[in-house]
Structures are given as C-alpha cells and as structure tokens.
Structure 1
Amino acid sequence: MAKTQLNVRVDEGTARAARERALARGMSVNRYIEELVRQDTGEAGRTFVEAAADFMKQYGSVFAAETAEERHRSSATGTGDGRR
C-alpha cells in the first residue's frame, strides 16, 4: 500500500503520551497512530487481535504459571475446578 505523509500538530503532552504508548507497545509512533485511526474507522477486530497477541507475548508466562498453580490447588483440594 502506498504511504502518504501526514503532518499534525499536537501539544507536547499529547506527543509525549503518543511516544510513551508506542514504546510500551514496541512500535513506532507512526504505526501507533495508524492503529488508532484503523481502530476508529472500524478495523477494531484486527487491532484487538494484534493487541491481544502482543499482550500474550509479554504476559503469556504469567498466565501459564497461574494456570499451573490453579491446577495444583484443584488437585490438592480434590474439587477439580480450582475452588476450595
């Protein structure tokens, strides 16, 4: 897809927030802004899936550990469903 340059002016706080949010997501400010516009124009489903995939890359091990701990508690209590 051909790219077009778009220049916008925002206050420094907004620019800082955009840089920080993009960095936190591991993407350029350009891609971050593109994703926001796509989301706003109805491509939220794809954006959500990409964000969820990024989230799971970062936190998947936390969920895996929690699931393993929950299974351990279930087998220890004999409930089979994680409740005590």
Structure 2
Amino acid sequence: MAKTQLNVRVDEGTARAARERALARGMSVNRYIEELVRQDTGEVGRTFVEAAADFMKSYEAVFAEESAGAGTPPRATTGEDRR
C-alpha cells in the first residue's frame, strides 16, 4: 500500500502521550497513530489480533513458566467430593 505523508499539529501534552503510548507498545508513533485511526474507522478485528499477538509476546515467559508448573492434571471431581 502506498504511503502518504500527513502533517498534524497537536499540543505538547498530546505529543508526549502519543510518544509514551507508542513506546510502551513497542511501536513507532506513526504506527500507533495509524492503529488509532484504523480502530476509529472500524478495522478493529485486525487491530485486536495485532494487540493480542503483542500481549502474548510480552508475557511469553510468564505463560511458559505457568505451563511448566502445570505437570499434574487437575483431579476429576465426583458427587462424593462435594460432601
């Protein structure tokens, strides 16, 4: 897809917030703004999948650790267990 340059003016607080949010998500400010516009125009499905992938990548070590500790399967319960 061809790219078009778009220049916008925002106050310093908005610019700072955009930079901080983009950094926290590990993306450029340009990509962050593109994602916001896509969300606003209804491309939420793709954005959701990308955000979910970013989330999974961020917490990959935690998930791996939890999986490793899950060596014993949960015990099946019966009606007798509820007494």
Tell me which interval the TM-score lies in, with the shorter structure as reference length.
Answer: 0.7 to 0.9
Once the two structures are superposed, what CA deviation does each residue of 1:37-69 show, in whole Å capped at 9, x if it has no partner? 011111101001001101111102212323444
User: Equivalents in 2 of 1:10, 1:19: separation in Å?
Assistant: 12
Secondary structure in structure 2 of the residue aligned to 1:54: helix
Q: Share of identical aligned residues, percent?
A: 81
Q: For this pair of structures, how many residues does the alignment match?
A: 77
Superposition deviation, residue 79 in structure 1: 2.9
Corresponding residue number in structure 1 for 2:64: 64
Aligned partner letter, 1:30: N
Secondary structure in structure 2 of the residue aligned to 1:50: helix
In structure 2, stretches of 5+ residues that fail to align are 78-83
Counting helix residues as a fraction of each chain, which structure ranks higher? 1
- Please identify the structure whose Cα radius of gyration is greater: 2
Aligned partner letter, 2:26: G
Corresponding residue number in structure 2 for 1:8: 8
Please report the TM-score for the alignment, with normalisation by the length of structure 2. Answer: 0.78
User: Equivalents in 2 of 1:8, 1:31: separation in Å?
Assistant: 15
